[in-house]
Each structure stands twice: as C-alpha cells, then as structure tokens.
Amino acid sequence: MTLLKPLLALACAFTSIAAFSAASAAETTLRFGLEAQYPPFESKGPNGELQGLDVDVGNAVCVAAHMTCKWVETSFDGLIPALQGRKFDAINSAMNATEQRRQAIDFTTVVYRVPTQLIAKRDSGLLPTPASLKGKRVGVLQASIQETFAKTHWETAGVTVVPYQDQNQVYADLVAGRLDATLVLAPAGQTGFLSKPNGKDYAFVGQPVRDDKILGSGIAYGIRKGDTALREQLNAAIAKVQADGTVKTLAAKYLGNIDVSAK
C-alpha cells in the first residue's frame, strides 16, 4: 500500500502533463477555412497542394503568430456557417470585410485590398452600369460581395444576376454564351480566366466598381463573434507581415502591379 500511493500520484502527474501538452498543441494550431477554387488567391496545384496569395500570406501570418496553419476546405457560401459551427477558427479566402458580414462575424484588420471589375467580350461594348447591362445576364460567385453589389445596383434595372457556387462554372457559361459578363475581383478574373486560352476574346470592361458599404474595406480574416484573443493575436501578426514587406512581395508574385495596400 505504501508503494501504491506514490505510483498513483506519479501516474496522475503524467496524465496532467500529457493533458497540458495536448491543450498547448491545440492552442498553437490555427485552422483556416477556405474555398480552393479562386486563383490566384487560393487553388490547388497539379500536385494537389494548396497554393495562392491567401495561402502564402496565411502561412506567413501563422509563423509571425507562432502558430501552425491547418487548412479546411468548404464552399465559399458555406464559410461563415462553418466558422460559426466551429469547423475552423478563421476564414482566409479572399473575403472582404463588409457591413453585412460584420452582422454575423467579426474581422481582423485588413490584410490587403483589390478592385472588383466586370469581364465581358472585348467587342461587346458593355460597361459596368445599369443602363449598359439592362437585359443582360451577369454571373457572380454565390454569397460574394460581387453578388450583393450586382443585385443591389443592377438587378432592379433589369439585369439578370446569376449566382454560382464555383467561379469556374461562371467562366464556362460565359464562354458558352449563357452569360454576357461576370463581376469578379480583378486578380481572380485575370489569373483564373483572362490569362487562359478560353479567355482570349474577353477583357475587363470599364472602370472598377465602387461601393465601400457593400464591397467592404478590404480582405481580412473572419473570426467568430467575441473571439477577441484570437483577433488581437492575428492583428499583431498581420501588422508584422505588412511592416516587413511580406504582403507586398507575395502580392507582386501573384497579382503583378496591382496596388494592394490596405488604404
């Protein structure tokens, strides 16, 4: 009996240490949710590995925050419900911080900002205005700010706004003649369509659209309401990778000369 008590105490101590270590490991893993169908922000390479601006910047943020990134894939329109359901800890999928989304989730500080533009056939004569698009069909990514913008500014003027779960499906229907145009983040449209053979007859038409209330203040990480500790940790890491030039360098790699500064 005299040996049993010390052995039990030792066993309890090891159990406590193991539990603490497991908890610590869990705390240092950051689960990012994304939709890997939106190059150059996030997509899969030929080897099946995730790639893109958000992936590289996200990994840099994890290093700066002394965390390990883990990536969880879901559809874009399912990102906010999955975050609320604790499927992952933060959304990192080219999501703009908008007033509408802030009603459901919180956001970190802005990581970068990019313009939204209309793509149509070069000789179509279309412009991103209600009058020009009246009677036309415009494809958008479902649950995106582009869908909200198009429905708010164009649908009431007789424009048919068609949402899709996958932006690649939008491009396919545009080429097939089932759509007249698509509204996208400019770098995604350039890399995912215009720079490819099937996009040779298409181009950005008109100037970038503007509506800060709908289109948001820029790309940021979405987090659950009240997750203040994580937001502060990520904000500090974002500030580091912005200050040391990491965001600017990676943006140039994926987006070329587009100014992505978080103004």
Digit-coded pLDDT (tens) for 125-150: 999 999 999 999 999 999 999 999 99
Q: What is the mean pLDDT of residues 179-200?
A: 94
Give the per-residue pLDDT at 20. Answer: 39
Domain boundaries, the chain: 29-113+217-255, 116-215
pLDDT of residue 72: 98
54 half-sphere exposure, CB direction, 13 A CA radius: 31
Give the bridge partners for 226, in sequence order: none
| Mean pLDDT computed over 43-67 | 96
Write the pLDDT tens digit of every residue in 212-232.
889 988 999 999 999 999 999
Residue type, 64: A
Average pLDDT across the chain, whole number: 90
Nearest Cα to Cα of residue 151 among 126, 142, 94, 167: 142
**Model confidence pTM above 0.85:** no
Integer distance in angstroms from the first to the last C-alpha of the chain? 71
Distance separating alpha carbons of residues 60 and 33, to the nearest angstrom: 16
- State the pLDDT at residue 25: 44
In angstroms, the CA 23 to CA 125 distance is 59
Residue identified by tokens 């503007």 is 210
So what's the pLDDT on residue 119?
98
Structure confidence at residue 263 (pLDDT): 63
CB 230 within 8 A of CB 89: yes
pLDDT at residue number 132: 98
How far is the C-alpha of 182 from the C-alpha of 173, rounded, in Å?
Answer: 10
The percentage of the chain sitting over the pLDDT mark of 70, rounded to a whole number, equals 89
pLDDT at 22: 43
Amino acid code (one letter) for 122: R
Task: Look at residue 196 in the predicted model and tell me its pLDDT.
Answer: 95
CA distance 234 to 30: 10
Q: How confident is the model at residue 16 (pLDDT cuts 50, 70, 90)?
A: very low
Q: CA geometry: angle at 115 spanning 100 and 49, to 5°?
A: 90
Q: Give the pLDDT confidence of 17-33 residue by residue, as tens digits.
A: 444 344 444 458 999 99
Q: Which CATH number is 29-113+217-255 given?
A: 3.40.190.10
Task: Give the pLDDT confidence score for residue 24 in this predicted structure.
Answer: 43
pLDDT at 27: 53
Pick the CATH number of 116-215 from 3.50.50.60, 3.40.190.10, 3.30.470.20, 3.30.365.10: 3.40.190.10
pLDDT given for residue 116 in this prediction: 94
Q: Would the CATH topology of 29-113+217-255 be identical to that of 116-215?
A: yes
